[in-house]
Amino acid sequence: MAFKIQIQARADREAQIQKSLNSPSGREDFYDFRSEKMTLPIIRIGINLPVYRMENFRTFTDQREHIAKENLSLDYFASGQEIESIQQVQHELLVRLARKGVSDSVVPVIEVLKREKQREHLLITSSGVVVNGNRRLAAMRELYSEDHISNSEFGHTNCLVLPPDATADEIVDIEASLQAKPETKLDYDWIGDGQLIFRLVSMGRSPLEVADRLNRSKPEIENSLQALVEADLYLKDWANAEGEYSKIRDDAEQLFKDLPKQIKGKTQHLQDLSRIIAWVLYDNRESLSGRIYDFNPAFGKLATDVLDRMAEELDLSTEPLANEDDDSFDIDLECDDGDRSYDALIDALKNEETKDAAVEALIKASQDAIETEKGQKSGEAAYKALTQVHSKLAAVDLSRASKETYNGIGKQLEAILTISKKLSEKITELTGS
């Protein structure tokens, strides 16, 4: 039978804890509070007395999934620490984690407790809120509920108690310090880890200070924050699943941590286009010829090449973006500045009737662009590139061009002639004839 949460009033919890503190069963050194060694009292209390801490970054993703599934307010858990029904939901989330374990190589917490009993004290506040050990408490409660006789020792639990003046920010600091320990870090998914970092920064800590606390580098901390922003953009703007982090918890970490690096230095317009390429590739990762990591160049330095190839495949136009300051423009065949409108491509990806063909074209364009880039490392790359350009120019039919494009076509041809002249001069210099 599942454990049933029964919350005692906060004042009653504090009174019971204080009574136990008058004659503690022992004391233990604790090093993760206020950056100094502190000796905390140990007490033994009934299994029903503690309450789960709702600002729990280990369960953050699962909490958000529950909120989205039940269409609840975002502060559902944050405001429910003293509400039995919400504590019950948190208990079920924690039990699921306790039964699941960390990975295939790590024994689930509930199995360890069943075999070894409680070896590590819970850490609680003076009001009974569990700061460290929420998952273990949930596992002990379940075991006790399943068999009161065999698991009678779980009717009570040993706890270290923090001073009454411990603040909410200091409790977050404790979680961060514990998260920095290698054996603890494994328990967090990348979303929860990023949310912990975000919380620390929101407390006024600089990325460098957070890095020091978590035993990581400053770039790692900054990348985790950026990845969280990219994840939020994907869920809200593309997947129509705002806050549903469970959709990207297991296999998207690499993508969202790579994405900031791939779009760095691009214009906002091209950043947005690059994101869409990445999002589509992620959504269709099962159809890719390799890992999505292999497609980083497609939404990185080759983004405009991918979009141009996709447009050609679908026979969709890519109009130059309007420039109100200057009606002339410079052409640089090596510039990846995203100075064209690809709205027609985006519309095709969003339209249910054209989506499948558009996705297929984008994947093919990504593969071709990457393969072409690889080929450019060979000695025949220049010849192959010019052959492709010649083929495209030979296929141009000016008789079908609209009058409003004549001016633009003329400028393009002038630029092509200029580049062709420079290339001819270079080949003459190289061959000596």
Confidence of residue 104 (pLDDT cuts 50, 70, 90): low
Which helix (H) or strand (E) is 46 found in, with range? strand 36-46
Q: What is the pLDDT of residues 255-284, one digit of tens each?
A: 999 999 999 999 999 999 999 999 999 999
Which residue, among 126, 114, 176, 184, has the nearest Cα to 150 in the 3D structure? Answer: 114
Confidence of residue 334 (pLDDT cuts 50, 70, 90): very low
Q: Within a 10 A sphere around the Cβ of 247, how many other Cβ atoms?
A: 17
How many alpha carbons lie under 13 Å from residue 216 in its C-beta half-sphere?
A: 21
Q: What is the full DSSP assignment across 255-315?
A: HHHHHHHHHTTS-HHHHHHHHHHHHHHHHTGGGSSS-GGGGHHHHTTTHHHHHHHHHHHHT
- The rounded distance, in Å, linking the Cα atoms of 341 and 200 is 40
Provide the token pair at 428: 């003459």
What pLDDT, on the 0 to 100 scale, is given for residue 327?
A: 45
Instruction: Inform me whether the pLDDT recorded for 433 exceeds 80.
Output: no
What is the chain's mean pLDDT, rounded?
89
What pLDDT, on the 0 to 100 scale, is given for residue 402?
A: 83
pTM strictly above 0.85: no
